[in-house]
Amino acid sequence: MSDIGYFALQLALAFSLVGFGWGIYASLDPRPERTRVLERLLLAVSGFTTLAITALFVAFATFDFQLEYVASHSARSMPLHYRLGALWGGQEGSLLLWLFMLCAYGAAAVFVHHRSSRALMPWVCTVLLANCAFFLVLINFTSNPFDKIPTGHVLSDGQGLNPLLQHPAMMIHPLFLYLGFVGFAVPFAFALAALLSGALDASWFRVTRRWTLIPWFFLSIGIILGGRWAYEVLGWGGYWAWDPVENASFMPWLAATAYLHSVMIQEKRDMLKIWNMALIGLTYALCLFGTFLTRSGIVQSVHAFAQTEWFGTIFLSYVLVTSLVFFAALYARRGRLRTPHRIESIASREAGFLINNWVFMAILLVVFWGTLFPVFSEALTGSQITVGPQFFNTMAGPLALFLLFLTGVGPLIAWRRSSLTSLRRQFVWPGIAGLLTAALLPVFGLAGSFYSHVAFSLGAFVMATIAQEYWRAIRVRMRSHAETPLAALGTLLRKNQQRYGGYIIHLGAVFVLLGAAGSAFNEELLQNVAPGDAIELRDYRIEYLTARPIPAQHYGGAVARLALYRRDEPLATMVPEKREYWLEEQPSSVPSIYSTLREDLYVILTAIEPDGSATLKVYCNPLVNWIWIGALAFVVGTAVVVWPHPARTTG
Amino acid sequence: MSKGVQIALGAGVCALLLGWYANTVLDEGATLTYYQTLEEFLAAPESAGSRPARVHGFVATGSIDRDVGAKVVRFRVQSQPPHAGVRPGGGLSVEYASLEVPDMFKDGAEVVIEGRLAHTGDARVFHATNLLAKCPSKFEAKLEDRASL
């Protein structure tokens, strides 16, 4: 079976190279039959890649330790789901997964658009095939997961997988992240196809918009799942550390989010076309750059896979060439993308969107600068200087709050120009909600830091604007169509998916920011307790009962039993573990979390000391749950926006 | 003024503002740390004493001492992995102000310590406020060992 995978990858490479050559030919002088051949070549590459990844899954499932990759990333004691998840536990498999998703997206784009976007299809296929070819070269010649260990050596068992990766979130977090990263190849291909072919009518941006929303959604969820994994596995009580790898996934998200906003100006006012193109190019370039950052190990990171230098060089050249081609094409076509329209007033929605874009770009600049600061400083001064999370928080914090403010303002101001009366009518209630919150928080001692105070007040303001938007629209329908409130809500969501789905996504963003602002109230405590003794934090009392060994097959260690009380009311039994993975020779702390909408109580068993006492680290993290709830709102909101609707699925 | 110039001016002003703000944030000092290997750090003690540092080294075998009463962990770092045959006694003493150590922290682990150097009499002790540990890259090494049996 592994031989099939090996040859499938070689065939895929051959087909992708042939396809790329044919693509150039078919694109320069497009004819229907040539395009059809080209589409089939892309589908063939997808087929072979699917075969290869299936073969690798089978190898993991059947303990094929002949393969070096399988032997070094799995073991017999691992359950099947973790063995399958181990496919993306290392570089070779990750690259294959990337390629597979690129093919899947490419095939989907061909199926959906081969009729509707005839003029763009040749270049779309060519661009996608070029990307496939690059990854196939990389996989076949530098990181082949089907490489075998030298003949004559037999391994009875593999070496297992890093225990930190043996977690349910690690089964899906990389999948979502890759579905996000790779998916941006489709809008990129359509945009570049429009530039190269000169078919710059409205169709390219309608297609790219929809195809941006899908990977944007996966990337959003992927990032949040990564945070969840860090929170539950890494055991430091937090979910986001501004680690270079986290930043690498955050940067394309910022560019894509900016695009999803500014594309609305293009839709409504036919403006900013060059800028939108640039954002698509930037998003994909940042995806590739992020992969380079993660894989080349040029910046120190918890995720850093130290790699050979030339791997980084090849990958960086690929990033640069891709960006260069795109931006050169954009420059060449800039004349045809210009527009006579101008922004008429600062009190207009398009001005709001424009400022929103500037803020996104500013945050992007901050993250980029901070992430690469060690590289810049080493080049300039000879010593690596890193900037801590404090840098990112202080720099990006105010920008994020400003963005939150705009989230509330944007929907309230009209296109082109808002009159003073309409501004007053729109802003009265949300303004009151925000100011009232700002005034009341300190009274109840809930203001926290300056940032959290502002964040909560703005959050109230934004939620009030969203509620007002829904309420007014529902009321109008109830009056004009005599609908019940619920029916009116349903009609709204169907009739204006983008707008009302978008508001749900905004609500999710507010939840995530509120959850982050809750960290202003975090408390932590490290304490050594003897059995029977208790730790007190806020209202909570945590009593250490006993510790006993873990009787698991794959790992040993200790589990502590703790009784959790609020005042004298018993709440839960907490069981933080300190595991020792035998095969991997690596310990792993598994926190126990008591989670409510108000706050999380998070306990880590740091150590069982020789005298039988336990050293516990306890965190009280308010509002963390709202981050995950925000993710759910993203899911619901995106579903509303992309839900197929008969009247709208034209073009 | 053409639109391009306007955009360039706007972007320039924003970048300057951002840069100025970044500079004031960085001036507070707490967020900038110098990343050095242990050898580099020990070679430049005068600068090393005054500012926060991020030092890369390896935990000396048998040097880890958990002082539960004082809530600190003491250990030594050396510039080479222990099996590379570095004479004991070299390196730097570290006092980490917490009992909570990373999972990978153990004898021979590759660590990055963050904190400041303090002189008490003749003794130099590095007071670490943060401790990062990396798994010794045994995965690759072990496969070769076993494959050549």
**Residue A540's CATH number:** 2.60.98
Q: What pLDDT is stored for residue B140 in this prediction?
A: 38
Chain A contact for B141, CB < 8 A?
Answer: no
Determine the 3-state secondary structure of B62 from DSSP.
coil
Q: How far apart are CA A145 and CA A159, in angstroms?
A: 16
Average pLDDT over residues A240-247: 87
User: What is the residue whose two structure tokens read 């703000």?
Assistant: B21
Residue B26 sits at the chain A interface (C-beta within 8 Å): yes
In a domain, A596, yes or no: yes
Look at residues A121, A140, A163 and tell me which one is the last residue of a structural domain: A163
Last residue of a domain, one of A141, A163, A185: A163
Chain B residues with CB under 8 Å of A607 CB are 66, 99
DSSP readout, B20-59? HHHHHHHHT-TTEEEEEEHHHHHH-HHHHHHS-EEEEEEE
B125: three-class secondary structure by DSSP = strand
pLDDT exceeds cutoff 50 at A327:
yes
The burial of A302, by beta-carbon neighbours within 10 Å (0-12 exposed, 13-18 middle, 19 or more buried), is given as middle
Last residue of a domain, one of A130, A163, A196: A163
Q: What is the rounded average pLDDT of the residues A80-108?
A: 92
pLDDT at residue A343 in the model: 75
Is B103 close to A586, i.e. CB distance below 8 A?
yes
Give contacts of A586 with chain B, Cβ < 8 Å: 103-104, 135
CA dihedral A414, A416, A418, A419 (to 10 degrees): -140
Domain-located, residue A633: no
Average pLDDT over residues A117-122: 88
**What are A40-80's pLDDT values in tens digits?**
999 999 999 999 999 999 999 999 999 999 998 899 888 89
Chain A interface, Cβ < 8 Å to B: 68, 71-72, 149-150, 153, 155, 159, 162, 235, 300, 302, 306, 358, 362, 365-366, 369, 374, 383-388, 390-391, 394-395, 526, 528, 585-589, 604, 606-607, 609, 613, 615, 617
Is B21 touching A (CB cutoff 8 A)? yes
Let me know if residue A293 belongs to a domain: no
Is residue A267 assigned to a domain?
no
Decide if B143 and A159 are in contact by the 8 Å CB cutoff.
Answer: yes
Does B50 score more than 70 pLDDT? no
- Is the Cβ of B9 closer than 8 Å to some Cβ of chain A? no
Question: Is residue A604 assigned to a domain?
Answer: yes
For residue B76, which phi and psi values (nearest 5 degrees)?
-115, 145
Please give the ipTM for the structure prediction: 0.72
- Tell me which of A270 and A9 has the higher pLDDT: A9
Interface check for B103 against chain A (CB to CB < 8 A): the answer is yes
Res A163 pLDDT > 70: yes
Average pLDDT over residues B95-118: 84
| Burial (0-12, 13-18, 19+ Cβ within 10 Å), A181 | buried
CB contact under 8 A, B135 and A68: no
pLDDT of amino acid B141: 36
3-class DSSP assignment, residue A588: strand
How many helices (H) and strands (E) are present in chain B, helices listed first?
A: 4, 7
Q: In chain B, what residues touch A604 (CB-CB under 8 Å)?
A: 100
Structure tokens at A33: 């039959």
Q: How confident is the model at residue A564 (pLDDT cuts 50, 70, 90)?
A: very high
Q: Is A390's CB within 8 Å of B68's CB? A: no
Tell whether A307 is covered by a domain.
no
Computed on alpha carbons and rounded to an integer, the radius of gyration of chain B in Å comes to: 22
Which of B141 and A244 is assigned the larger pLDDT? A244
pLDDT band at residue A647 under the 50/70/90 scheme = low
A233: pLDDT confidence band, cut at 50, 70 and 90?
Answer: confident
The predicted structure's pLDDT at residue A314? 85
Which of B137 and B64 is assigned the larger pLDDT? B64
- Min CA distance, B4 vs chain A (Å)? 12
Which pLDDT score, from 0 to 100, does residue B135 have?
Answer: 56
- How close B118 comes to chain A (CA, Å)? 21
Chains A, B: CB contacts within 8 A come to 98
Q: Read off the pLDDT of residues B15-40 as tens digits, 9 standing for 90 and up.
A: 888 778 777 766 655 556 677 778 77
Cα–Cα distance measured from residue A622 to residue A631, given in angstroms and rounded to the nearest whole number: 17
Q: Is there a contact between A299 and A351 (Cβ–Cβ < 8 Å)? A: no
A278-294 mean pLDDT: 92
**pLDDT at A298 > cutoff 90:** no
* Percent residues over pLDDT 70 in chain A: 97
Domain that holds residue A567: 521-626
Average pLDDT, chain A: 88
Q: Looking at beta carbons, which residues of chain B come within 8 Å of A71? A: 143
Whether B33 sits inside 8 A of A72 (CB atoms) is no
Give the lowest-confidence range in A22-26, A240-244, A593-597, B2-6: B2-6
Per-residue DSSP letter, A157: S
Say which of B14, B100, B142 has its CB closest to residue A362.
Answer: B14
- Model confidence at B47: pLDDT above 70: no
Sequence-distant (≥ 6) Cβ neighbours of residue A212 within 8 angstroms: A184, A187, A256, A259, A260, A263, A280, A283
CB contact under 8 Å between B146 and A394, yes or no, is no
DSSP helix/strand/coil, A171: helix
Handedness of CA A21, A25, A27, A28 (dihedral sign): positive
> How many CB atoms are closer than 10 A to CB B50?
9
Please indicate whether, in this complex, the C-beta atoms of A362 and B30 are within 8 angstroms of each other.
no
- Tokens 């002949």 -> residue: A66
Residue of chain A nearest B137, judged by CA positions: A306
| pLDDT tens-digit map of A425-466 | 888 899 999 999 999 988 888 878 888 999 999 999 999 999
Do the beta carbons of residue A583 and residue A199 sit within 8 Å?
no
- What local confidence, expressed as pLDDT, does residue B32 receive? 67
- Work out the angle at residue B137's Cα, subtended by the Cα atoms of residues B135 and B141, and round it to the nearest 5 degrees: 145
Phi and psi torsions of A199, nearest 5°: -85, 75
Q: Which residue has the higher pLDDT, B2 or A285?
A: A285
Q: Which residue has the tokens 């929103």?
A: A356
B111 bridge partner residues:
B57, B133
pLDDT at A651 over 70: no
Q: How confident is the model at residue A496 (pLDDT cuts 50, 70, 90)?
A: confident
pLDDT, average across residues A326-346:
86
Question: At residue B148, does pLDDT exceed 60?
Answer: no
Mean of pLDDT values over A406-434: 84
Nearest to B99 among A159, A300, A526 (CB): A526
Angle subtended at Cα A164 by Cα A158 and Cα A170, rounded to the nearest 5 degrees: 95
Q: What is the pLDDT of residue A25?
A: 93
| Residue A369 belongs to some domain of the structure | no
Measured in angstroms, the CA of B121 and the nearest CA of chain A are apart by 29
Determine the average pLDDT of the residues in A597-608: 91
Tally of domains in chain A: 2
Q: Are strands B110-120 and B92-96 parallel, antiparallel or unpaired?
A: unpaired
CA A400 to chain B, closest CA, distance in angstroms equals 14
- With bands split at pLDDT 50, 70 and 90, how would you rate the model's confidence at A299? low
Rounded to the nearest integer, the mean pLDDT of chain B is: 74
**Could you tell me which residues are beta bridge partners of residue A604?**
A617
Which of B100, B107, B113, B138 is the best substitution to test chain A (most A C-beta atoms within 10 A)?
Answer: B100
Q: What angle do CA B124, B126, B132 make, to 5 degrees?
A: 155
| Whether the predicted pLDDT of A488 surpasses 70 | yes
How many residues are there in chain A? Answer: 651
